[in-house]
Structure 1
Amino acid sequence: MEPSGRLARAAGLCYFVTHVTSIGGLVLYGPVLNDPGFVLGAGPDGRVLLGALLEVLLALGIVGTAVTLYPVTRRHNEAAATGYVALRVLEAAVIAVGIVSLLAVVTLRRHGADGADPAALATTARALVAVHDWTFLLGPNFVCGANTLLAAHLMYRSRLVPRFVAVLGLIGGPLIFASAVAVLFGGYTQVSTWGALAAVPVFAWELALAACLVTRGFARAAAPVPAAV
């Protein structure tokens, strides 16, 4: 297999990893995100810790998508390719902040209950969960919307993948960014019907791109294009 083919397959697998880990992490985080009394309860924290591990893999997968695409995409537009790497790293960093905030809740649950005021403990835990909720908006929505638009534009111009795949990203990136703005200003909650609908095109773009990269690789006919946008 040619080096570009191996990179395409690796990038596609990284995209699949991001989807599996993001969904799994959100499901496993359910108790700490939805139960205000979680920090005051007793019992194992394995579910939250496993969710944190999945999100660590998510962050690594996000960076992996950009790093594996870069050697090929930079031949077509080095500035855009570099920008995609930077935005994906930023997205992963924001997610890491959210992981730390929920791990801090686990620490409070394990060691903060002795002699602590339950009301103060619960308030602190809610504040840490709120930090996670904001990172969930900033990383997988605002930053993801920006890097999706950038990558889709690059793929569309270079024709490294079928254009219908790139069009999904050109639609999905601005849409999820606009949805994040609506959530920011109280139009609706992020975990809602409108929020889910806004995420569908980005979800479809990443799955279609991953499937294309794994099964077909980059288009052989793709030739470098001028860097000007």
Structure 2
Amino acid sequence: MTTTEQTTQTSKSKRIVSANQRRAEIMIAALFLVTAAASIPGAFVLDSILNASNYLAQVFPNKGAVELGTLMWSINNIGIIFIAVFAFPLLRKLDEALAVGYLASRITEGTIMMVGAAATLLLIPLSQEFLQANAPQGSWFLTLGDVLKQAEFLGLTGLSLPVLGLGGLLFTWMLFRFRLVPRGISVVGLIGYAVVLFGSIAGWFGLIDVAPGGNGTIFALPVATFEIILLPFWLLFRGFKTPEAPERIVAAK
């Protein structure tokens, strides 16, 4: 083997990426972890209050917890959009249509969830008025509260989950198709997002309970494994597998 061949093979074995791409990979990994760390406890904080039988009497006295839970959801809502924003430059080079679709799905998902967060915050003044009026349980306060609570559920879970599943399938299909990460990681993601998509649709018909703590929570395990463990840690330590630019190889020769 000649010196030239050794240099070429060594060069081919290295992952050569720009500083911008490496920063993007680290940001994507960090955002996956941050959004999980914010949304999971945020969901359970809100659910513990809003699922109470006398929830409208509980919201205002627990105003701080409701605001904290909503803030944590809002961090998630913004973070998921920026995951797609940081991934877009790389994905666009590979398949622009799928990259735009993934970005659009994340923006749509984040917007829907912010509507749910707004509905949650509106429950605070409603609860205050309910308590001050000493209104009976069958009053219009409760009717309006049920509407806002349903809007919260649809925004943070019922409508956003199918969009998450669809967008996640676009993302993981690109990871699989272009071998950006090991096939095992992308397959777990494909399975996880497919389960989220079809499971959330099943939730519309009452076949499973997709709310946090419901019997549908187990179906989130594959996508949680992908988003919290497999992909972020791979990106932190290895990054996307991008082909080496031809001019780099020529330069090495």
**TM-score, L = length of structure 2:** 0.81
Residue 143 of structure 1: CA displacement? Answer: 0.5
Matches within 5 A, 1:1-229: 2-41=19-58, 43-115=61-133, 117-118=135-136, 119-120=138-139, 121-135=141-155, 136-139=157-160, 141-191=161-211, 194-207=215-228, 208-221=230-243
Which letter maps to 1:39?
L
How far apart are 1:44 and its partner, in Å? 4.2
Task: Give the % identical residues.
Answer: 29
Query: What CA distance in whole angstroms lies between the structure 2 residues aligned with 1:109 and 1:204?
Result: 37
Letter in 1 for 2:132: D
2: distance between equivalents of 1:34 and 1:193?
A: 12
1:112 Cα deviation after fit: 4.5
In the alignment of these two chains, the number of paired residues is 222
Structure-2 change in CA distance of 1:222 and 1:36 (3 Å): farther
Unaligned runs of 5+ in 2: 1-17, 246-253
Whole-angstrom distance in 2 between the partners of 1:157 and 1:149: 12
Following superposition, the deviation at residue 114 of structure 1 comes to 3.3
Counterpart residue identity of residue 203, structure 2: V
Q: Which amino acid aligns with 1:189?
A: D
- The structural deviation recorded for 1:188 is 2.0
> Aligned partners of 1:104, 1:28: CA distance in 2, in Å?
17
Q: Indicate conservation of the 8 Å contact 1:37/1:122, yes or no.
A: no
Are residues 46 and 60 of structure 1, via their aligned partners in 2, closer, same or farther at CA, if it must alter by over 3 Å? same
Equivalent position amino acid for 1:196 in 2: T
CA distance in 1, matches of 2:43, 2:214: 16
Alpha-carbon contact 1:59-1:96 (below 8 Å) kept = yes
TM-score under structure 1 normalisation?
0.89
Check whether the contact 1:165–1:205 (CA below 8 A) recurs between aligned residues. Answer: yes
**2:118 is matched by which residue type in structure 1?**
V
Corresponding residue number in structure 1 for 2:6: none
The CA distance in 2 between the partners of 1:193 and 1:31, in whole Å, is 12
Cα distance in 2 between the residues matched to 1:201 and 1:57: 23
> Contact conserved, 1:145 with 1:176, CA < 8 A, in 2?
yes
**Which stretch shows the higher mean deviation, 130-139 or 44-53?**
130-139
Tell me if structure 1 keeps the 8 A contact 2:57–2:130.
no
Look at both structures and tell me which one has the larger radius of gyration over its CA atoms: 2
Q: 2:107 corresponds to which letter in structure 1?
A: V
Provide the C-alpha distance between the structure 1 equivalents of 2:107 and 2:166, rounded to a whole number of angstroms: 13
Q: What is the identity, as a one-letter code, of the residue corresponding to 2:200?
A: A
Q: Structure 1 regions of 5+ residues with no counterpart?
A: 224-229
